[in-house]
Amino acid sequence: MSDTDHDRNLDELASHFGIAREFWDWKGRHTVVSDETVRRVLAALEVDASDPQKSAHALEEQRLKPWRRALPPCVVTVEGEYGWVSVHVPAGHRAEVSVRLENGGTVAAESWVNDTPDRWVDGEWVGEGTFRLPDTLPLGYHRLVLRSDDREVESSLIVTPRFLGLPESMGGRRTWGYATQLYSVRSDDSWGIGDLTDLADLAVWSRTQQFAGYVLINPLHAAQPAAPMEPSPYLPSSRMYVNPMYIRPEAIPEYAGLSEADRKAIATLKSDLADELSGTLQIRRNESWLAKRAALEIVYGAGLRPARQMAFDDFIRRQGRSLRDFATWCVLYEEHGSDWREWPEELRRPSAPAVAEFHRENLHRIRFYKWLQWIADTQLSTAQQAALDAGMPLGIVSDLAVGVNAAAADTWMMHDVFANGVAVGAPPDAFNQIGQDWGQPPWRPDRLAELAYAPFRAMVNGMLRHSGGLRVDHIIGLFRLWWIPTGHTPVDGTYVRYDHDALIGILALEAKRVGALVVGEDLGTVEPWVRDYLSSRGLLGTSVMWFENDDSGHVRPPETWREYCLASVTTHDLPPTAGYLAGDHVRLRDRLGLLTESLEDELRFSADEQQRLIGYLRERGFLARDEDDVEQIVLAMHRMLTATPSKVLNAALTDAVGDRITQNQPGTIDEYPNWRVPLSGPDGHPLPLEKVFTSERAARLAAVMNGFENLPGH
């Protein structure tokens, strides 16, 4: 197509929907996005731009859309700043705008000059007016009210914090904590997988014996209700609800009142499971959940005493339609299979009459899944309260995954909020030169705005209900995501922008209300201004020692690290530090065929990287010059963390106990047992939580994090 034939309407549509027409790749090369990719992405937003005539029509429809609305569906502002809203009424008619505050009271908006000409829309002249919202509005979710003649229209107004910052519970002091994959932290009393009772115990130990301020865990999002279960906590079925696999059956109050026969049946289920898992070195979710679910069904069958019944009924009431739909999906999953897109047509939408009939016919089973969510919620609350009672300033810090799988409960419950025909991933970069396709459908930015961000608000609110902080995995996804058209490779994708002011603002508002911390995982390819923006809104970034190098490859002095960040030596996507120092990650990637260079070259590169850091540790006095013991190097790296200005420090529990085994190897699914590795000791054998409690190695690391020791040679 020549330049004169170029469909410029397509460019305007792309700009309107935040679809990138160009970008600079990881090598700094300018890349133009093809028209085909843009059209496919627009189609995922239900915009037909398949030819110039249709793109012209689509563009005109988008231009008219705000004129067909009296008020925009949602306005998001920042506290202490004026907000602006444009309204549309029949030409020549008067208009008044006010704000109905969520806690009562009404505040008038000020009419402002607007010289925009009237516009002919759908057979009538429509005028536009502009109003300025006061800069004194309180934080919260308010209502915009437009009155024109005898007509009254409402929409949403969200006033967000200018700056979130550190919660008051920290008292302005630095804190540190452990990061762990909860499923891997198994006790002698758990059902083959770490659970919420283990989390409570881990938090109490971390505070009372280690003086830590929080425990950061993997996402606890709901997985599939039946086997086979997805092992990755970062590819859930719902981010709205908790995986009931983390429930401890014996910790449910009703367990104490079970008959002797019922308790014996549960004990038999648990002992049979232990026999089945004996000798296995991996987490076996399917087997653990099958046995645990059977035990939970026994406890559920015992019923509830009156006050507990009231609490359960209130939980159902507060959760509303969302919980009903999720529980219904769970039972439909059991009966019709794992992918709702392959269910009978009449069951593919929660609002369908056939689904309502199914709900009526399966009330008892659906109520069981509601009960599971209530129990999981109460046990998570218990874990957080145990952490706070032990003296932690933050307690549990939860993790929010980027998205859900394509056949997820969330995509069934909120079908219209997700884009069809595309998946989220990552463009080619230095670590994966063909890019990544995560197989996750993205939220539609336009639909989120039309819904006043209600799904996002509900998700964040639910996660912060029993947490002192929230880590947002790939927080760049609140700014832009790489959309890949179905059937294409990641190379053929493009960036789609989101309203980051709204999403970050709501995130900060929800955290502010409960006194929580927010950490954004901003590693990888990040536009430089994004980190500045997060800092300006009081959200912490993420700094990992292995990645903290300057442009010349030299180790970045700890004094130059960011103050507003969670600083750590490693992450769950890297091997434990002991394994990293041994080169285990290089040999593993070689066995899996993931290396782009020879094993010898990669080992040499890794050794050079390590020696630069070890040399720096010695030079700065964090490590004795004649010391080459692995544990001492690990301790020295954490000493260096304490020399940063970072407000929140983090240590991996794997590093505390000397584990060497990688939890997750990016670029693999079943080639390596990702997310199925139990916490292990230096000898490679699984380490139960009880032995973590007595680990002298962990005590030495805690001494470093708390500053209870002198530096080597001092």
pLDDT tens digit sequence for 491-502:
999 999 999 999
- pLDDT of 665 reads 86
Give the Å distances, CA to CA, from 134 to 129, 137, 485.
16, 6, 43
Nearest-angstrom CA–CA distance, 149 and 415: 37
Quote the CA–CA distance of 697 and 656 in Å, as a whole number: 6
What the block records as the tokens of 339 is: 């992918």
- How many CA within 13 A on the CB side of residue 378? 15
pLDDT at residue number 710 = 56
For 175, the 3-state DSSP assignment is strand
The DSSP bridge partners found for residue 143 are 100, 156
Take residue 37 and report the two structure tokens written for it: 């990719």
Question: What tokens were used for 451?
Answer: 């819904």
Enter the DSSP assignment of 197: H
Q: Residues for the chain: how many in total?
A: 714
Confidence at residue 484, expressed as pLDDT on a 0 to 100 scale: 96
Comparing 601 with 251, which gets the higher pLDDT?
251
Instruction: Please report the pLDDT score of residue 552 as a whole number.
Output: 83
Q: Would you say residue 711 has pLDDT above 70? A: no
Which among 599, 620, 713, 698 has a CA at the least distance from the CA of 652?
Answer: 698
Contact status, residue 17 vs residue 23, Cβ threshold 8 Å: no
Would you call 479 helix, strand, or coil by DSSP? Answer: coil
DSSP state of 418: B
Q: Which residues contact 530 (CB under 8 A, 6 or more apart)?
A: 476, 479, 522
Strands 480-485 and 494-497: antiparallel
Examine the pLDDT at 11 and tell me if it is beyond 80. yes
Judge contact between 592 and 675, C-beta under 8 A: no
The phi and psi torsions of 538 (rounded to 5 degrees) equal 80, 25
CA–chain centroid gap for 243, Å, is: 14
The two structure tokens encoding residue 485: 């058209």
CATH of domain 80-160: 2.60.40.10
Residue 484, beta-bridge partner list: 423
Average pLDDT over residues 467-480: 96
pLDDT tens-place string over residues 335-377: 999 999 999 999 999 999 999 999 999 999 999 999 999 999 9
Residue 714 has pLDDT above 50, yes or no: no
Range with the poorest average pLDDT among 401-405, 464-468, 553-557: 553-557
Q: Give Cβ neighbours of residue 272 (< 8 Å, ≥ 6 apart).
A: 291
Q: What is the pLDDT of residues 595-636, one digit of tens each?
A: 878 899 889 988 998 999 999 999 999 999 989 999 999 999
pLDDT at 25: 78
Q: How far apart are alpha carbons 259 and 267 in whole angstroms? A: 12
Question: What confidence score (pLDDT) does residue 713 get?
Answer: 44
pLDDT at 708: 86
Q: Which of these, 396, 462, 378, lies nearest to 180 by C-alpha position?
A: 396
Please report which confidence band the pLDDT of residue 4 belongs to, taking 50, 70 and 90 as the band edges. Answer: very low
What are the angstrom distances between the C-alpha of 322 and each of 245, 311, 337, 624, 650?
A: 20, 18, 21, 57, 35
Q: Is the pLDDT of residue 304 over 80?
A: yes
Mean pLDDT of 33-58: 96
Cβ-based neighbour number of residue 96 at 10 Å? 15
Contact partners, residue 217, CB within 8 Å, separation at least 6? 179, 180, 181, 182, 199, 396, 397, 398, 399
For residue 642, pLDDT over 70 is answered with yes
Q: DSSP letter string over 663-704?
A: S--TT-STTTTTT-PPPB-TTSSB--HHHHHT-HHHHHHHHH
3-state secondary structure of 394: coil
150 or 122, greater pLDDT: 122
HEC profile of 204-220: HHHHHCCCCCEEEECCC
**High-pLDDT (> 70) share of the chain, %:** 98
Q: Where are the domains of the chain?
A: 80-160, 223-381
* Mean pLDDT over the full length of the chain: 94
Phi-psi region of 684 (alpha: psi -120 to 50; beta: other; left: phi over 0): left
Average pLDDT over residues 308-319: 98
Phi and psi at residue 592, to the nearest 5°? -90, 0
First to last CA, the chain: 72
Q: Going by DSSP bridges, is the β-strand pair 83-90/124-133 parallel, antiparallel, or unpaired?
A: antiparallel
In tens, the pLDDT along 418-439 reads: 999 999 998 887 666 678 888 8
Higher-pLDDT residue of 671 and 646 is 646
Q: What share of the chain is helix, strand, coil (3-state, %, to 5)?
A: 45, 20, 40
| The two structure tokens encoding residue 655 | 């590093």
Alpha carbon of residue 631 to chain centroid = 32
Q: What is the dihedral of CA 243, 287, 576, 550, to 10 degrees?
A: -40
φ/ψ (deg, to 5) at 160: -110, 160
- Give the 3-state secondary structure of residue 458: helix
In whole angstroms, what is the distance from residue 183 CA to residue 196 CA? 9
The confidence band for 3, taking pLDDT boundaries of 50, 70 and 90, is very low
Report the alpha-carbon distance of residue 153 to residue 70 in Å, rounded: 7
Question: What average pLDDT score do residues 200-221 get?
Answer: 98
* Burial class of residue 390, CB neighbours in 10 A (0-12, 13-18, 19+): middle
Contact between 285 and 238 (Cβ < 8 Å) = no
Please write the tens of the pLDDT for every residue from 669-705. 888 999 999 999 999 999 999 999 999 999 999 999 9
Q: Once rounded to an integer, what is the mean pLDDT over residues 628-649?
A: 96
Between β-strands 124-133 and 110-112, what pairing exists: parallel, antiparallel or unpaired?
antiparallel
